[in-house]
Structure 1
Amino acid sequence: MVNFTLMTALILYSFSWISVSGSHSVTVQPGEDVTLLCPNVSRYDGVSFWFRLINDSQVRCISVKFNSKSKVEFCVGLQNEKYEISSNITVLFLKIKQVDLSDSGLYFCGFYSNGRPIFSVKHLNVEGSDEAQNDMESKQKEDEFDTIWLISMILGGLTFFLLVVIVGLVVQIRKLQTAHKEEQNLKQRQNPHVEDLNYAAVAFRPKAKQRQMEQNVIY
């Protein structure tokens, strides 16, 4: 396996020097095997490679071959059992086994000739891919709506719960304050002369002291 990052960067950087030799579209059923052809191999005894374009923005390397006599190397992270690379004197083959909807897209075979990349474009269409993509987008929108609705319900429930707790605390505090006031009022009603008796006791004490002083004077 080889890492195709540098090669991909060079390819994208040099788009103004790219030459496209031809394009071809292939339509297959899910589960079938399909073979894509890259012609004119014999004209370029140099680096040849296969890669594909994903989601119109991501480039994924499939394989690279450095010359006509070297061994085909699969790129890092690729499932070797999914692809099979072969060639003869004039054609480079890419066989994709048991295709599914995710295999749909643009495939490029390319060569370097005098430092200039030459591509042949193959469009693989697995039947049902457009409908599946639309269904996926619709499901994604539904999931996003469900998530927003769920978050709104949770926040609404929390707000209502906090409001109930606050109201309950206010009512409880008011009840405690009312009960305390009623208890004080009840005690005052049960003992109405307590303050008068205490005042009388305080008032009579100085008199007792004065009487005792008078007795001492007589003696």
Structure 2
Amino acid sequence: MSDKERKLIRRIKRGNQHAFQTLYNRYVDDTIQTVYGITRNHNHTFDIVQETFIKVYRHLEKFDEEKPFKPWFHRILLNESMRYSKTEKSAIPIFQKVYMEISREENTTTEEVIERIKEEIEADAGMGIRREERTTEPIEAEVILGMGLDGSRDTESFGSEWNTPIHRYYVMDTINEQVFIIKQVYFLEAAEGHGARFHYMLESFEIAKE
């Protein structure tokens, strides 16, 4: 974080409204673009952006000035988007066949959720399980990678066409009999662009405390 931004944040902490307006003006355009890229809905975008800046203002006093500001800001933004997705009980589409959704299941365990997801993938004749692994990047979770098959009867022969579907699931550890699941859907040609974008977004992911 630059000295200029650190001084700006200190002024906000002292109650300077003009300083917060400066911060808002600095981040609002990129925030709107990011949220609209997630929701593809103008009304929902401005609701999420508004709530994000309200949360930033309310919690800025707790922000550690020795740490970068932008990841902290993006964490709040992602949490607000996640809260919206749970309220709407629907996916957050980016565009057709490319989206990320965050859901929560109650009264279950990580192991039970993993088995259900695997059963769903295997029940789809056009999909197979490409990989299962434990990861700590971009978040700590169990990962299940489902991928489209090449059309043969071999359930381990995966497609290589540009439009081969990819379904990536992050299943987080059970907390209070709740499991958070992040599902990313894209296709092979979009793996480098949207896959990397999803990865970047999740670097700031954190479960919001209720």
TM range (shorter): under 0.3
| Higher strand proportion (structure 1 or 2) | 1
- Work out which structure has the larger RCO, using CA pairs closer than 8 Å and 6 or more positions apart in sequence: 1
